[in-house]
């Protein structure tokens, strides 16, 4: 409320002559005044006033000035009432009575007979207090609003930093944070931790045939299908362009390979309708589990990448996994299958290249692990 706006004043006075005089003096000063003969009659109108001033006599027949003040303070505590600046105006003029009046919750105390100029000055003090309280309240509201907006922004920023815009899967940065945590938490107990590298087959050709936005739509559909299939959707993310990485903590490699194969079959069964065309697609998967010889997440990813590349080499739309002997095998191969040594993808085909690790050195690690077993 700005300075020019006058606050409402409620007068509570049982003496008609004093009541009339107060009404006239304050009315002449420009205030909106309502007057009542005792506290009981004034209580409800004060509650309806919201913020404002009360000038009350002490001695009154029904509910005296102290009782009214106590009732208003209680209502304020209960948040059923705004800010009331309460001035007691009484013929009781000993220091003890002034102290008692203020102790009952009055903001100010004026003794009768009062000086009209002093009354107006004290009312103005009350106005200043009310204005400050209103400003404080408004500032609180503004701060709360700003905090709420900040929280929304922080949330949005976190989204942007962690979520891939096209597929809405965790992006690589976010997924690797989770990966590092999983790696560290299960390392002591040698808990199984498998990872699946999923790469869309011949995706360049799909883009060339149907257009880039059809390609985008297919990628999003594949991402959704992957999420539906894996036990924990928050552990699959977009690794790169048309590559996804799925983390399967607690699953040994053979079980992880079966999850990967169901995921592969889901994708192969998709019929993506876009712009009048029905598009089919497929993925190749490489599945590797953590071995004792692996020292970091990168090594597991590199192994899965190499296995995925072997799936590509053998015709795509299939799952290759890392056997306990450190060799790669296609899922479903008979017991006679000897397995094949992991083949490092050529530089242009390796997804691990983007993590800036020396692939050719590291791809040996699963073999090294097997040799130690
Ligand atoms: P392969 O079976 O060997 O994996 O063949 P490919 O064509 O899938 O692999 P290649 O690495 O040759 O091409 C990947 C293509 O994926 C090239 C790139 O333009 C496309 N791509 C990557 N990200 C996106 C994307 O966000 N949207 C679309 N539409 N295409 C993308
Ligand atoms: Mg009286
Ligand atoms: Mg690729
Ligand atoms: Mg591909």
Verify whether residue 59 is a known catalytic residue: no
C-alpha distances in angstroms, 279 versus 220, 223, 263, 274, 321?
Answer: 13, 15, 18, 7, 28
Q: How far apart are CA 303 and CA 151, in angstroms?
A: 40
Both tokens assigned to 17? 């002559």
**Range 236-251 average pLDDT:** 97
Both tokens assigned to 187? 């390392």
Q: How far apart are CA 24 and CA 35, in angstroms?
A: 11
pLDDT one-digit tens code per residue, 163-186:
999 999 999 999 999 999 999 998
Q: How far apart are CA 106 and CA 99, in angstroms?
A: 10
The per-residue DSSP string of 262-316 comes to HHHHHHHT--EEETTEEE---EEEEEEE--TT--SHHHHHHHHHHHHHHHHHTTS
Predicted pLDDT of residue 350:
66
Ligand 2 centroid to 92 CA: how many Å? 10
Ligand 1 centroid to 233 CA: how many Å? 23
Token pair 């924990």 is found at 232
- What is the set of domains in the chain, with CATH numbers? 8-140 (3.40.50.2300), 163-361 (3.30.70.270)
**Number of the ligand closest to the Cα of 243:** 3
Q: How confident is the model at residue 131 (pLDDT cuts 50, 70, 90)?
A: very high
Predicted pLDDT of residue 80:
79
* Atom 20 (ligand 1) nearest CA: 204
Ligand 1 centroid to 242 CA: how many Å? 5
pLDDT one-digit tens code per residue, 188-201:
778 999 999 999 99
Q: What percent of the chain lies above the pLDDT cut of 90?
A: 83
**Number of the ligand closest to the Cα of 311:** 1
* Atom 18 (ligand 1) nearest CA: 204
SS3 content of the chain, % helix, strand, coil (to 5): 50, 20, 30
**Number of the ligand closest to the Cα of 350:** 3
- pLDDT of residue 312 exceeding 90, the answer is yes
Predicted pLDDT of residue 363:
55
* Atom 10 (ligand 1) nearest CA: 204
Ligand 3 centroid to 349 CA: how many Å? 6
Of the CA atoms within 13 Å of residue 102, those in its CB half-sphere come to 11
Q: Which atom of ligand 1 is nearest to the CA of 204?
A: 7
CA 89-92-98 angle, 5° bins: 75
Q: Which atom of ligand 1 is nearest to the CA of 200?
A: 8
The mean pLDDT value of the chain amounts to 91
Active-site residue, selected from the candidate residues 13, 67, 242, 299? 242
Q: Which residues' Cβ are closer than 6 Å to ligand 1?
A: 166, 199-205, 207, 212, 215-216, 219, 241-242, 312, 316
Residue 312 in contact with residue 238, Cβ under 8 Å?
A: no
Ligand 4 centroid to 141 CA: how many Å? 53
Look at the pTM and tell me if it is higher than 0.85: no
* Atom 12 (ligand 1) nearest CA: 204
CB atoms within 10 A of CB 5: 9
């Amino acid at each position: 409320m700005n300075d020019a706006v006058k606050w409402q004043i409620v007068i509570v006075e049982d003496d008609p002559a004093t009541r009339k005089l107060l009404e006239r003096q304050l009315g002449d000063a420009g205030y909106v005044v309502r007057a009542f003969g005792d506290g009981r009659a004034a209580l409800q109108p004060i509650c309806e006033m919201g913020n404002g001033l009360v000038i009350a006599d002490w001695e009154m027949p029904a509910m005296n000035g102290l009782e009214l003040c106590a009732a208003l303070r209680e209502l304020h505590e209960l948040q059923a009432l705004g800010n009331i600046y309460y001035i007691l105006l009484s013929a009781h003029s000993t220091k003890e009575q002034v102290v008692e009046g203020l102790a009952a919750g009055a903001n100010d105390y004026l003794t009768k007979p009062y000086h009209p100029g002093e009354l107006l000055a004290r009312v103005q003090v009350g106005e200043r207090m009310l204005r400050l309280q209103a400003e404080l309240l408004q500032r609180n509201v503004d701060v709360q609003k700003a905090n709420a907006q900040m929280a929304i922004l922080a949330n949005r920023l976190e989204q942007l930093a962690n979520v891939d815009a096209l597929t809405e899967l965790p992006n690589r940065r976010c997924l690797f944070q989770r990966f590092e945590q999983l790696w560290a938490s299960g390392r002591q107990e040698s808990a199984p931790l498998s990872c699946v590298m999923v790469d869309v087959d011949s995706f360049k050709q799909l883009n060339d045939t149907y257009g880039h936005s059809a390609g985008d739509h297919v990628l999003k559909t594949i991402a959704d299908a992957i999420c539906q299939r894996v036990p924990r959707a928050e552990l699959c993310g977009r690794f790169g362009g048309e590559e996804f990485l799925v983390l399967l903590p607690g699953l040994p490699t053979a079980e992880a390979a079966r999850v990967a194969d169901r995921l592969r079959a889901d994708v192969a069964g998709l019929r993506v309708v876009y712009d009048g065309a029905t598009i089919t697609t497929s993925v190749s998967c490489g599945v590797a589990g953590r071995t004792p010889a692996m020292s970091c997440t990168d090594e597991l990813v590199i192994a899965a990448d190499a296995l995925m590349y072997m799936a590509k080499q053998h015709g795509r739309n299939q799952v290759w996994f890392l056997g306990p002997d450190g060799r790669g095998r296609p899922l479903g191969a008979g017991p006679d299958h000897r397995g094949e040594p992991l083949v490092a993808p050529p530089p242009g085909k390796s997804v691990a290249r983007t993590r800036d690790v020396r692939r050719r050195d590291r791809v040996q690690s699963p073999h090294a692990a097997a040799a130690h077993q």
